[in-house]
A and B are shown apart, each in its own frame.
Chain A
Amino acid sequence: MVARRRKCAARDPEDRIPSPLGYAAIPIKFSEKQQASHYLYVRAHGVRQGTKSTWPQKRTLFVLNVPPYCTESLSRLLSTCGLVQSVELQEKPDLAESPKESRSKFFHPKPVPGFQVAYVVFQKPSGVSAALALKGPLLVSTESHPVKSGIHKWISDYADSVPDPEALRVEVDTFMEAYDQKIAEEEAKAKEEEGVPDEEGWVKVTRRGRRPVLPRTEAASLRVLERERRKRSRKELLNFYAWQHRESKMEHLAQLRKKFEEDKQRIELLRAQRKFRPY
């Protein structure tokens, strides 16, 4: 990957900024003060024919290498190219839009951000071409839109990390209410079906019935098998017939042989490591 990137850099010298093949690079800085900059690598989102993608063709800009400090300000920075419809940040490129479920902030803590990829959907296709021509450098933190850093950021992060117990309680209560309701419905349904044969005449047997049966778990079935085996072995006589006797002796010998073979191998290894030099 690295090698390929270097090769591309050699191929288009007029661009100056090395970037992966097919991507345009936009320098991005945290603020005016920084000398060096990171680069966003952008290109129009496109997939091979036949591959499904939920991102609209032509209107979507695919951005690589989004620094962790410019998560929220990306749409603002790119809005100079055209109206931005949505910005989706992801750890890895993914063709499908991630399902928009409202994940609880209490129970699914945000991952520590690193460099990410982004899908920026513009309202018009012209936005994409404008973005590809963007020369930059983009500034993340400006006078009008400052981004917190250093001790300010830490203090605000800490303040955010302190949860509000009331909100947590409310969330737990609503979830549990819904859960209880769901369980109650399921139970009611199960009760209704109890003992009622389906169209082929089969009756479903559950644990809740009048005569509960074993739960259908692997552990339970293993337990049953084990019990069976033990019952059988209790009845068996050991060393009763001559062949049994002979066989158990042979088994002992085989064990010894196996052990001997193992030991020989170990010695061989130790000898190779010169482990028998006492000093």
Chain B
Amino acid sequence: MGPAPAGEQLRGATGEPEVMEPALEGTGKEGKKASSRKRTLAEPPAKGLLQPVKLSRAELYKEPTNEELNRLRETEILFHSSLLRLQVEELLKEVRLSEKKKDRIDAFLREVNQRVVRVPSVPETELTDQAWLPAGVRVPLHQVPYAVKGCFRFLPPAQVTVVGSYLLGTCIRPDINVDVALTMPREILQDKDGLNQRYFRKRALYLAHLAHHLAQDPLFGSVCFSYTNGCHLKPSLLLRPRGKDERLVTVRLHPCPPPDFFRPCRLLPTKNNVRSAWYRGQSPAGDGSPEPPTPRYNTWVLQDTVLESHLQLLSTILSSAQGLKDGVALLKVWLRQRELDKGQGGFTGFLVSMLVVFLVSTRKIHTTMSGYQVLRSVLQFLATTDLTVNGISLCLSSDPSLPALADFHQAFSVVFLDSSGHLNLCADVTASTYHQVQHEARLSMMLLDSRADDGFHLLLMTPKPMIRAFDHVLHLRPLSRLQAACHRLKLWPELQDNGGDYVSAALGPLTTLLEQGLGARLNLLAHSRPPVPEWDISQDPPKHKDSGTLTLGLLLRPEGLTSVLELGPEADQPEAAKFRQFWGSRSELRRFQDGAIREAVVWEAASMSQKRLIPHQVVTHLLALHADIPETCVHYVGGPLDALIQGLKETSSTGEEALVAAVRCYDDLSRLLWGLEGLPLTVSAVQGAHPVLRYTEVFPPTPVRPAFSFYETLRERSSLLPRLDKPCPAYVEPMTVVCHLEGSGQWPQDAEAVQRVRAAFQLRLAELLTQQHGLQCRATATHTDVLKDGFVFRIRVAYQREPQILKEVQSPEGMISLRDTAASLRLERDTRQLPLLTSALHGLQQQHPAFSGVARLAKRWVRAQLLGEGFADESLDLVAAALFLHPEPFTPPSSPQVGFLRFLFLVSTFDWKNNPLFVNLNNELTVEEQVEIRSGFLAARAQLPVMVIVTPQDRKNSVWTQDGPSAQILQQLVVLAAEALPMLEKQLMDPRGPGDIRMGPSENVALL
């Protein structure tokens, strides 16, 4: 009997995949069906929804195997949690290159190698005589000045080597690049080729000839030029295979000199290799003064000589451990999500790999570490080390002939020397780029330390484009203005060094200028890096101004933002002249209250929204003054959305002032209520419960004084009735104020009676306010309306125990139990939770002045999409608050614009089905509580509303989303936000100034 069932089972077990296999390999449609079937087999029916995990007791408590114990222990030590470990593994699987593709790439590389070696040679000609070049190809270099000594001939490369991340196995998908170094034969080069761009000219000609021949080959789908690391003196040739693999891989050919051709001592950062006499056609001013050093030029030459040695170094260290490779891959993803590795002077993956090597050599990283730990250590290092001040070096020898770190610091802003001690790896990285990297690393470390549940997602999966990361953004355009700026800033030596690239020459001084000018208003200034162009081989290389626009991002500091005064030194100090020179005509002598007479700059700004835009004034003033960039070239994007939350008659303010006036009036009223004499019970609390009182009303109420001729008087009730023949009176929104009265034994314990007593209090309140303070009041059974300074307040008297009384249910045995009823929930919400929420958000506004603007913009947008009905005011306020309380991976927004963009991003990407949105007001929820709430959420998912917002006061029920939105409305909002976000970002990033910002429902509403 034994064997037969076993055989059955075996067949059953193997039979299933056999059935699956053909289906998976069939057409796409079938495949999908099969996979979904597979999933439904493995999972409970509800798809796309997390289910609470149910494990049987036997499964939970079975004896652990050794392997399992090891894995659990490893997870605890090497990773943060099992979830993180799984996530990291998944991500690496996604970005890794599969073996199959690797084979295809290897085959392609072999083909390339064969073809490159077979390119015919050409006889020797003068460098300036380029007639031999065939018609279809242009030299990929701006040859300015054209005249240069030397001869060139083409010979096939002496050696073809693959360098870079492909061999190391740390390259990540998509955009696989394989770097191939072509060693030029020694016969091509001559002595002194390092001088006056001769080497670069030859390199370019070499590539041009190569390109011409390879372009005729049917193997390649596209052959085009680009720049190596964006350096415009060093073109490279990009080859892509023809056919379906065209997107798979790009092979980049970099010609390089034969080893030991250049003497490193000639290429020290203090040496000059571009003569002024040649470059500018004149010797430097005055005889005898030395030629200016050309550190960047020297670096570019040096970079070509060390390609192979770097590869060797990297492969000896990285190939020893999988964890290091994983770490580098993760770091590359991290950089890429932050757009730090893109463009000229980016913080590339190569730099990060070298940094890992450095940390291994200093024993900060051990080879047994996991990828996650490598990531963490590198971030920690970046966050705490300022390479702009203290450079680091991979070079271990203490040879006195090597240049000192200080020399490099003088020439470069960021210093990280390679193992030879001659080359600065970070030569192209600007100080602000490095500071941005540091800033990001610091934020990421904070995120990792906070043990947030979805840290992985925020760290590695959330893109941070410039427009969404920075509070204000400004575009400089056209870039040709920067040429004039270079002359104004006297940057001729830098231009000579950069070979005429005025954009990168001006970048450093401009950012320093603006950083100094913005001072306390600024947390971080970052600039976009010019993109690395690609162009057809039959075209001239693009000019510097063709790289579009230069975009600067400002991360503002809310504390410094509101000051309208730049305080300078006292008038008789020597620094005063400097201050005057810096600020030009804006600097004035002022006498201050303490008697000091100081230089100062005062900016005009009356309202909060104008104060937020002071950086605009600063930037335009400084750029015009020091860099000769007129206002028309500066496109400042800081407040185009402000107009949407301006009232009808407002032009300069976005309503913050009006809200403050209303809140101040409310404060006065609450003081009156506290001091009211003659109430039978004392007032125990006065709390606001209206959007105005938490600064989130889109259009704040304006004080209204009724014109008596427009009304008839109802004498017996002392009220006014609108007249038929007069225009309709203005609507005044009453602001709800909850007034708690002290508990007392005198309160009845019956719901109906409590209602009557409250009504009596409402009447009494109206009477007393009229008597004692002369306010106009009107009492009804549930509230008292008070007219104060043109605002109407609706005071609701509340009794703390009333919700409980409403809840009481008596069972047949006489046991009194508490059950939630609709009325009790409503009352509790209105008199307890709403005031708590209002005061918490009021506090949030005091911490983050931009909160009001963000919340109001968000609500304005939702209502303009005609979805306002579906969302309670409070739910949208809470979503906006989440942007400030949980800004990761960003910092809390300091301008309504960026806050609104992140609102759209949050709404469009948040997985409402499987996650509650935590709004941890006042940081009351601990991590453990959050975990508990999350599991409770999963268990009760079906009973909860579609949108669940958890606050410390409301941990289970999501009170504010109980009545809506429905699933359809929420889905509509998500779709609209996903549509609106790229549209708006495109408009804001377009330097020609944002066009019209459509708040209204877009036409695709009809389509959806």
On A, residues with C-beta under 8 Å from B are 106-107, 151-152, 155, 158-159, 162-165, 168-169, 172, 175-176, 179, 183, 215-219, 221, 250, 253-254, 256-273, 275-279
Smallest Cβ distance from B52 to chain A, in angstroms?
8
B763 within 8 A of A: yes
B82 within 8 A of A: yes
A-side contacts of B752, CB under 8 Å: 107, 175, 179
B596 within 8 A of A: no
Are A277 and B94 within 8 A (Cβ)?
Answer: yes
Are A172 and B760 within 8 A (Cβ)?
Answer: yes
B-side contacts of A176, CB under 8 Å: 753, 756-757, 760
Are B714 and A159 within 8 A (Cβ)?
Answer: yes
B-side contacts of A273, CB under 8 Å: 48, 911
Smallest Cβ distance from A215 to chain B, in angstroms?
7
What would 22 A/B residue contacts be, using CB atoms closer than 8 Å? A106-B759, A106-B780, A152-B724, A163-B717, A168-B759, A172-B760, A172-B763, A176-B757, A179-B752, A183-B748, A218-B815, A219-B817, A259-B83, A260-B72, A263-B81, A264-B86, A265-B50, A268-B39, A272-B48, A276-B90, A276-B93, A278-B94
Cα distance A259–B932 in the bound complex, in angstroms? 12
A-side contacts of B794, CB under 8 Å: none
Are B43 and A268 within 8 A (Cβ)?
Answer: yes
Q: Name which residue of chain B comes closest to A247, CB basis.
A: B61
Are A219 and B818 within 8 A (Cβ)?
Answer: yes
Are A159 and B759 within 8 A (Cβ)?
Answer: no
Cα distance A216–B51 in the bound complex, in angstroms? 39
Smallest Cβ distance from A167 to chain B, in angstroms?
10
Q: Which of B60, B87, B93 contacts A257 (CB 8 A)?
A: B60
Q: Name which residue of chain A comes closest to B172, CB basis.
A: A278
B258 within 8 A of A: no
Q: Name which residue of chain B comes closest to A259, CB basis.
A: B82
Are B763 and A215 within 8 A (Cβ)?
Answer: no
Are B753 and A278 within 8 A (Cβ)?
Answer: no
In the A-B complex, list the 10 residue pairs whose CB atoms are closest, starting with the nearest: A218-B817, A263-B83, A106-B781, A254-B60, A217-B816, A276-B94, A276-B90, A267-B86, A172-B756, A260-B82
Are A162 and B719 within 8 A (Cβ)?
Answer: yes
A-side contacts of B87, CB under 8 Å: 267, 270, 276
Smallest Cβ distance from B810 to chain A, in angstroms?
9
B750 within 8 A of A: yes
Cα distance A278–B755 in the bound complex, in angstroms? 58
Are A217 and B780 within 8 A (Cβ)?
Answer: no
B822 within 8 A of A: no
B-side contacts of A265, CB under 8 Å: 43, 50-51, 53
Are A279 and B337 within 8 A (Cβ)?
Answer: yes
Are B460 and A278 within 8 A (Cβ)?
Answer: yes
Cα distance A107–B815 in the bound complex, in angstroms? 29
Are B755 and A162 within 8 A (Cβ)?
Answer: no
Cα distance A250–B59 in the bound complex, in angstroms? 12
| Chain B positions 762 through 784: 1 when the CB is less than 8 Å from some CB of chain A, otherwise 0 | 01001000000000001111000
A-side contacts of B392, CB under 8 Å: none
Given contact pairs A176-B757, A265-B53, A278-B91, A165 touches B763 in the complex (Cβ within 8 A): yes
Given contact pairs A168-B781, A216-B815, A179 touches B753 in the complex (Cβ within 8 A): yes
**Beyond A155-B721, A158-B722, A276-B93, 8 additional pairs, beta carbon < 8 A:** A165-B766, A172-B756, A175-B756, A216-B816, A254-B60, A254-B61, A256-B72, A271-B90
Q: Which of A152, A254, A258, A278 contacts B336 (CB 8 A)?
A: A278
Cα distance A270–B719 in the bound complex, in angstroms? 62
B997 within 8 A of A: no
Are B714 and A163 within 8 A (Cβ)?
Answer: no
Within 8 A of A (CB), among B727-768: 748, 750, 752-753, 755-757, 759-760, 763, 766
Within 8 A of A (CB), among B448-496: 457, 460-461, 463
A-side contacts of B60, CB under 8 Å: 254, 257-258
Q: Name which residue of chain B comes closest to A161, CB basis.
A: B780
B-side contacts of A175, CB under 8 Å: 752-753, 756
Q: Name which residue of chain B comes closest to A256, CB basis.
A: B72
B-side contacts of A218, CB under 8 Å: 815-818
Are B721 and A159 within 8 A (Cβ)?
Answer: yes
Q: Name which residue of chain A comes closest to B758, CB basis.
A: A172
B95 within 8 A of A: yes
B914 within 8 A of A: yes
Cα distance A172–B82 in the bound complex, in angstroms? 64
Are A155 and B759 within 8 A (Cβ)?
Answer: no
B64 within 8 A of A: yes
